Amino acid sequence: MSTSLSIIVPTYNEEGNVVLLYEQILEVLKQEGVENFELIYVNDGSSDGSFSVIKKLSQNDLRVKYISFSRNFGHQHALKAGLDHALGDAVISMDADLQHPPQLIPEMLKRWKEGAQVVYTVRAEEKGISWFKKITSKGFYWLINKMSEYPIVDGAADFRLLDKKVVAEIKRYPEKELFFRGMIAAIGFRQEAMVFTPNKRHSGQTKYSVKKMASFAIAGITSSSAKPLYFSIYLGSFLAFLAFLYGIYAICISVFTDDAITGWTSIVASVVFIGGIQLLMIGIIGVYLGKIFKESKNRPHYIVDETNL
Ligand code: UDP
Ligand code: MG
């Protein structure tokens, strides 16, 4: 039997992109002579016409599958649903907005056939991406790589091919808060990178608001590492050292001068400063506590409303 391929596409309000992506994938796979494939659209609670467009496609082409969620669960959960259901010997995940060019698929397949078990992609310096996204993304990768044990390449995208062996391992991860880039970086296997230049988003707006990006970043960092919890130890020691120096200074003032009751300003300033630091540290602990809470509730990753799988 010929090898089979699954392509999974998280889709959230992408009615203007669904068909074009299908056509491009079809053309690329035809040229490659790949006939045995499934294209799984994971409809992540779209409120536009995405789902009806996907359904129509699936009626005309039985290789088009869909999993439709009961509400919006988020990009990473949509990826998880795709991986849970994909049957291919190789599984490729890509965005619906055509920023991940289907024209790269042949090269991915070639590397997989040559033995790579993970082919991940890295964005080259991009023209199609706003300066804001560039800066926040640079900062995010810098921070996460300072924290986590397994580095994630700067600009890594959720456009990748996984061998079915890797998919099987990923499916065993029980965690509720998902961050695939971190999980893949730490999973091992033979990995290869491909650099690509993303296209401009074909239709519609980015689905990652600043708020979603921030919570994605916090989730990513705190699910790859427990290091932020140790901040308080370093910062606490540093502040204790400063307090010690200041104490010596205060003693000198009272012993050698007559200005003993100086500056309430410095007291207020240090109280406010230390208060701020404490709140920050409590916040960090809170994030991890929230994670434990989420894991202990053990709710499903996503709820499927309709599927043709
Ligand atoms: N997406 C999703 N659920 C969400 C947000 C995004 O399934 O809650 C999908 C979206 O439809 C797209 C992919 O995830 O296929 C990446 O989103 P987007 O292109 O908006 O992100 P960006 O490329 O701007 O980082
Ligand atoms: Mg995009």
Q: Which atom of ligand 1 is nearest to the CA of 13?
A: 11
What's the token pair of residue 152? 């994630």
Point out the ligand nearest to the CA of residue 21: 1
Tens digits of residue pLDDT in 41-64: 999 999 999 999 999 999 999 999
The residue-averaged pLDDT of 59-83 equals 96
Global model pTM greater than 0.85: no
| Beta-sheet pairing, 37-43 with 64-69 | parallel
What's the token pair of residue 199? 């296209």
Q: How far is the CA of 200 from the centre of ligand 2 (A)?
A: 8
Q: Which atom of ligand 1 is nearest to the CA of 12?
A: 11
CB count in 10 Å sphere of residue 67: 25
Q: What angle do CA 275, 281, 284 make, to 5 degrees?
A: 145
Domain boundaries, the chain: 5-224, 227-297
The neighbouring-strand residues paired with 271 are: none
Residue of 198 and 189 predicted with greater confidence: 189
11 lines ligand 1 (CB under 6 A): yes
42, 34 Cβ separation under 8 angstroms: no
Point out the ligand nearest to the CA of residue 132: 1
Q: How far is the CA of 113 from the centre of ligand 1 (A)?
A: 29
Residue carrying structure tokens 């991915």: 108
Point out the ligand nearest to the CA of residue 14: 1
71: pLDDT strictly greater than 70: yes
Written as one letter, the residue type at 30 is: K
| Beta-sheet pairing, 156-163 with 118-123 | antiparallel
Residue closest via CA to ligand 1's atom 22 equals 206
211 CB-contact burial (10 Å; exposed 0-12 / middle 13-18 / buried 19+) = exposed
What's the token pair of residue 296? 């202990």
CATH of 5-224, one of 3.10.129.10, 3.90.550.10, 3.60.20.10, 2.40.50.140: 3.90.550.10
% the chain with pLDDT above 70: 96
Q: Which atom of ligand 1 is nearest to the CA of 72?
A: 8
Tens digits of residue pLDDT in 7-52: 999 999 999 999 999 999 999 999 999 989 999 999 999 999 999 9
Segment (H or E) for 118 = strand 118-123
16 lines ligand 1 (CB under 6 A): no
Length, in residues, of the chain: 309
What are the strands of the beta sheet with 5-11, ordered from one edge? Answer: 191-196, 118-123, 156-163, 90-93, 5-11, 37-43, 64-69, 304-307
DSSP string covering 80-115: HHHHHH--SSEEEE--TTS-S-GGGHHHHHHHHHTT
